[in-house]
Amino acid sequence: MSEQEKEKTTAAVTTTEAPAPATAAAPKAAPAPEETGSQYFFGEPLVGFDPSEITGSLIVIEGMDGSGRSTQIALLQEWLESEGFAVQTSGLRRSNLVGRDIDELLAKNAVTRLTLALMYATDFFDQMEHRILPALRSGTVVLADRYIFTLIGRGVVRGINRDYISGLYAMALRPHLTFWLNVRPETAFGREFRKAQAISYWEAGRDMSLSHDLYWSFIRYQTMIKREFEVMAKKQNFIELDGEASVPAVNKQLRQRIAEQLGIRSTKYTPSAALSHLWR
Amino acid sequence: METQDVVQKPPRTEPAKSTLPQPGRPVPSRAYPGALIVVEGTDGSGKSTQLYLLKRWLEIGGYRLHFTEWNSSPLVKSATRRGKQRRLLTPTTFSLLHAADFADRCERQIMPLLQGDYLVLADRYIYTAFARDTARGCSPRWLRNLYRFAPVPDITFYFRAPLDVAVNRILSGRPKLKYYEAGMDLGMSYDRAESFRLFQARILEEYDKMVDSDNFVVLDGTIPVNKLQKQMRDIVASKIELKRFAPRAEEAE
């Protein structure tokens, strides 16, 4: 690991450093929130929310496109429901507030990186406040298909200051478990291509002008994102799983850790006929 | 030196160094050749009227300028409208959506124009977000971080009017206050006018806190319009080298 990367590691997600103000002077009299965040939030608490009401669990699955996140989440949901747990899922661009607007911005490709990052933050907090927190308050298990780590990584590789973008997510709830399905970009490319017989503009990071060749653009972009994940993995206690392994093998590891967290005795599971096509 | 070399760009006191805004890094006014003038104040403080008159003065004089308004980016408009109509917005998402709107204008208009040596006039700026969102309960520290990509204005006029004056100007001129405008989301009162008054009081308090820390030029919003405008023009003329934004010689003749 280079010196520079070490530096990055220390500056990762938590907002321990006071952000530089936009204007001439800082608000010195600002009611100082905890410097290192709390057990519930990465930084400062969310306005009007009492975290002690949480009775559910927030379980995050992170990983690049083609790492198998959505397959695993579908299987975990079925397993947890069969164990009698209520499950809610969340993911990027699924908010009622701006989910569709982001889709449109992406389709038009007429948006600058900062605006896009802020729209994703809006999308994230709308789901946090209207979907994730209410579910956690009622004892539900929330399975999050990606979380702030993807959003931070994407911003950082596009040159947005790390402290800045981490600071945006200061009021994000700390997950109970964060899994990282780590795969090689080459494997991910094959899986993604098979899915749609094409690679999308954004998956390949085409906005970053890395290469005119779609394959190389994808590989370079996803490698950059992967490096960001490596930086965050240590700092944020990711549970790293080998995403190259078979679906049942990855699923078994996920079930074991989740069973521990939720106090489920048995981790036995065979998918129903509806999901058996995923089990390979 | 100042008048001879007319084909060149007007002389600059500071050279332009950076060419692109750095998201998340503060942008000092020395980083670009243009100049940024913003007006701030509560609703009904008279700031928009005054900025309009300033703009007319500069336009008539032929200066290169661009005018930009808070909450006006077409990209984010539909989301803001939907959020307000359906009352989906919380203090956090309200704040983020306005920041996205501002970022869009900042990256696509304000920064490029400042780089291109324009005079940029902004009706409301990041201080509106600081005052309003803090009044809604957002953390000031989080807000300062959120907007730290914004260029620091050359002049920030703060139009200060007593609460009753400002509130009565709005209440007498507007038949119905909108939900978020009146701060109804804060649940301070079921009566819109009363809620508006309480909300504006909080905002005024937040503005007052920034006067020193953010170098506001405070103007009295209660004095006659033309006298106030005279003060404003004098201050602009004394603080900004307007000559630099004057029509270039070959265009004028």
| Contact (CB<8Å) B92/A33 | no
Q: Domain B34-243 is of which CATH architecture?
A: 3-Layer(aba) Sandwich (3.40)
Provide mean pLDDT across the span A238-256.
Answer: 97
pLDDT of residue B73: 86
Nearest residue of B to residue A23 by CA position? B152
Degrees to nearest 5, angle at CA A121 with A117 and A123: 115
* pLDDT, tens only, A153-210: 999 999 999 999 999 999 999 999 999 999 999 999 999 999 888 888 888 998 888 9
Which is nearest to B247 in space by CA: B119, B123, B132?
Answer: B119
| Contact (CB<8Å) A97/B79 | yes
CB B177 within 8 A of CB B168: no
Q: Which amino acid is at A35?
A: E
pLDDT category at B26 given cuts 50, 70, 90 is low
Would the pLDDT of B173 be above 90?
no
Whole-model pTM: value is 0.86
Chain B partners of A24 at a C-beta cutoff of 8 Å?
152, 213-215
pLDDT of residue B176: 86
- Name which residue leads in pLDDT, A35 or A112: A112
What is the 8-class DSSP label of residue A131?
I
The DSSP-derived string for B74-131 is HHHHHHHHHHHHTT---HHHHHHHHHHHHHHHIIIIIHHHHHTT-EEEEES-HHHHHH
**Residue found by looking up tokens 């929310």 in the block:** A49
Of the candidates A27, A118, A130, the beta carbon closest to that of B140 is on A27
Which is nearest to B202 in space by CA: B131, B144, B142?
Answer: B131
- Secondary structure class of B66 (helix, strand, coil): strand
The domains of chain A, with CATH numbers, are 55-278 (3.40.50.300)
Instruction: For residue A277, give how far its alpha carbon lies from the nearest alpha carbon of chain B (Å).
Output: 38
Degrees to nearest 5, angle at CA A250 with A246 and A256: 150
CB A235 within 8 A of CB A243: no
Chain B partners of A15 at a C-beta cutoff of 8 Å?
145
State the average pLDDT for chain A: 87
Strands (E), chain A: 57-62, 87-91, 141-145, 177-182, 239-242
| Domains of chain B, residue spans | 34-243
Of the candidates B26, B83, B142, the beta carbon closest to that of A22 is on B26
- Residue B218, φ and ψ in degrees, nearest 5: -85, 130
Q: Which two tokens stand for residue B48?
A: 């928009």
CB B251 within 8 A of CB B64: no
| Contact (CB<8Å) B139/A26 | no
Q: What percent of chain B has pLDDT over 90?
A: 75
